Chain A
Amino acid sequence: MFNFTLILPELFVLCMVCVVMLVDLFVEQRQQVLTYALTQLTLVGAAILTLCIYCIPTTANFSGLTVHDHLGSVLKLAIYITSFFVFLYSRNYFRQQNMGKGEPYLLGLCSILGMMVLVSAHNFLTLYLGLELMSLPIYALTALQRDKEQALEAAIKYFILGALASALLLYGLSMIYGASGSLDITQVANVIGANSTQHPLIFVFGLVFVVAGLAFKIGLVPFHMWLPDVYTGAPNAATLFLAVAPKVAVIGMTIRLLVECLPGLQVQWQELLIVISVLSMILGNFVAIVQTNIKRMLAYSTIAHGGYILLGFIAGTAAGYSAALFYTLAYAIMSLGAFGIITLLSKQGFDVETIEDLQGLNDRNPWLAFMMMLLLFSMAGLPPTIGFFAKLSLIEALVSTHFVWLACIAMLVAVIGVYYYLRVIKVMYFDKPLDNKPFSLAWDAKMAITINGLAILYFGIFPGALITLCQQLFWSGTMLN
């Protein structure tokens, strides 16, 4: 029952957290090269370990507290890769903005460990612990810029609403525990599946709280109010961190809870998700139009993208879930690039905040402007980028399950969304720069942003491999129950 091979990546990251902590304490260094290198090494090592155990068939481990399956491994790999880029982009930012010695890396690694636990959780207990281990370091990361009022305010807002979300989720889980008598995801699913016709009302009551907690964590209407404020107020590097990998992990949690644990209540959660998703898509896209702050605009677009991801869950088929996962991965790559460029452009004492700060980026650094344009095209869902295929597969899944009206709404609001993304592109290309100095990047950042931008294009032109991978994860044979 206790197979330590299957949790090797987690063990490795945990050991490296301790190593990084001690090294950071005892090595006197101004540039933090060693801490940074060790952090990146940890991510690479964890990725190799995860790949090594990838082919081991699905097994529940540690008396069912955690599970080893392909879904978890793929999500973990996505988390390592995006986090690798996040640290790469924000390295300079951490150094220049006086965000402590090695703390950002240490907290980031702890948070990544939490995400790993979360995406391979197979019990409400590990789910909750993983969620908290993921969130607590991010609250601290947001507040790490200790002399900036905005950042502190964002941190406390994030903290209070995050705690509220966990409490709502826990209340719902306690109801489901009471009604089913178990905390184990498979057992709960079996109890609900056993009497498929009539569910006690208490299940539905618990489900409402669980969905509310999830919506809070993803940042969906009507539980979205923290998201624009936190994205705007947090230091750019912290925004970058919390916008990418945690999103993937939370979607992983949603799959574990709704698809693996509560498929018996699909009719009920479908109705809830339809309301949340439609509201998020509409509000996110419309409010983003009037924003002048680029981070705030991207925050509202995040809300809208969250609404799109839910569409896959609403479809309720394997095709729908894999489309949702594909969209999540696509969104992770897109927001990684967009927030990454914002972080890279920030200099000492100057944070990129308004859209005007991007004015004439084409004159200052044409390559960076081109990459940003690709990313924004992808967010808008224009071909030939990955965002186009992500939206297409979602709409396909919806149409095949007769949610045509929902597909129509999704397409309509996507067209509205194109407007505000194009506005940013117009500012970058056709407005005169405020500051004529050409902007140059370090070689590693330049390479990373190039890979990031070309990934958008590559997966947009050849999406087959990634789509097939997502579909395989939801074939009936690969799941535990």
Chain B
Amino acid sequence: MITLNSALIVTAILFSLSLIGLVLNRHNLIVLLMCVELMLLAVNTNFIIFSHFLNDLAGQVFVFFILAVAAAEAAIGLAILILIFRKQKTINVSELNTLKG
């Protein structure tokens, strides 16, 4: 059988990979959005693992709702991205520098 620790370690690696991708990525906004999706995937898998090992359905219900919200989030994110592309003809993060911070 799958053991709890190995499953949790896999999701931890996935979560930290996407976190690093998010922090280090300087070239493409769409990859940033994908990294956010990856993070949510890691969280979802985490909930499902716990739901399985606790024999509790609540975790799966939570994942159901996270999926719905993530879809909504992706739609809004892509809408903003399209606006930026229309305006600037680029989605390169390092070229978005009117705001210094």
Give A residues with C-beta under 8 Å from B: 124-125, 128-129, 132, 136, 139-140, 143, 146-147, 149-150, 152-157, 159-160, 163-164, 167, 170-171, 174-175, 177-178, 181-183, 225-226, 228-229, 232-233
Contact = CB atoms under 8 A, between A and B. Distances in A.
B99 to A, nearest CB: 4
B90 to A, nearest CB: 11
Interface string B18-56: 010010000001001100100110110011011001101
A183 B62 contact: yes
Contact of A167 (B36, B72, B84, B101): B36
Task: Tell me the interface secondary structure of chain A in the complex.
Answer: helix
Contact of B65 (A128, A156, A157): A128
Contact of A128 (B66, B76, B79): B66
21 contacts: A128-B65, A139-B77, A146-B87, A149-B87, A150-B99, A152-B80, A153-B99, A156-B77, A156-B84, A157-B99, A164-B19, A164-B22, A167-B36, A167-B40, A170-B43, A171-B43, A174-B50, A177-B62, A181-B54, A182-B56, A232-B99
A129 B101 CA distance: 30
A155 B80 CA distance: 7
Given A139-B76, A153-B84, A163 B65 contact: no
B98 A149 contact: yes
A160 B99 contact: no
Given A178-B46, A183-B58, A149 B88 contact: yes
Given A171-B39, A178-B53, 9 more contacts: A128-B65, A129-B65, A132-B73, A143-B80, A143-B83, A147-B87, A153-B99, A171-B42, A177-B47
A62 B43 CA distance: 25
Residue with the highest number of chain A CB atoms closer than 10 Å, among B43, B47, B88, B96:
B43
Contact of B99 (A147, A154, A175): A154
A167 B23 CA distance: 14
A146 B81 CA distance: 11
Contacts of B79: 140, 143
Contacts of B62: 124-125, 128, 177, 183
Contacts of B33: 160
Contacts of B84: 152-153, 156
B35 to A, nearest CB: 9
Contacts of A177: 47, 50, 58-59, 62
Given A153-B84, A156-B29, A159-B80, A229 B46 contact: no
Top 5 closest pairs, chain A to chain B, by CB? A178-B50, A167-B39, A229-B101, A174-B46, A229-B99
A340 B59 CA distance: 43
Contacts of A228: 101
Contacts of B100: 229
Interface of B: 15, 19, 22, 29, 32-33, 36, 39-40, 42-43, 46-47, 49-50, 53-54, 56, 58-59, 61-62, 65-66, 69, 72-73, 76-77, 79-81, 83-84, 87-88, 96, 98-101
A132 B40 CA distance: 13
A233 B98 contact: yes
A353 to B, nearest CB: 12
Contacts of A139: 76-77, 80
B50 to A, nearest CB: 4
A60 to B, nearest CB: 15
A150 B101 CA distance: 13
B56 A159 contact: no
A171 B77 contact: no
B59 to A, nearest CB: 6
A157 B100 CA distance: 12
A136 B76 contact: yes
Contacts of A183: 58-59, 62
A164 B36 contact: yes
B101 to A, nearest CB: 4
Contact of B81 (A124, A150, A156): A156
Contacts of A147: 87
Contacts of B53: 178
Contacts of B47: 174, 177
Contact of B77 (A132, A159, A178, A182): A159
A146 B83 contact: yes
B31 to A, nearest CB: 11
A163 B34 CA distance: 11
B98 A153 contact: yes
A128 to B, nearest CB: 7
B8 to A, nearest CB: 8
Contacts of B19: 164
Contacts of A170: 40, 43, 66
B9 to A, nearest CB: 13
Nearest to A135: B73
Nearest to A205: B12
A225 B99 CA distance: 11
Nearest to B38: A167
B23 to A, nearest CB: 9
Contacts of B66: 128, 170
A229 B99 CA distance: 6
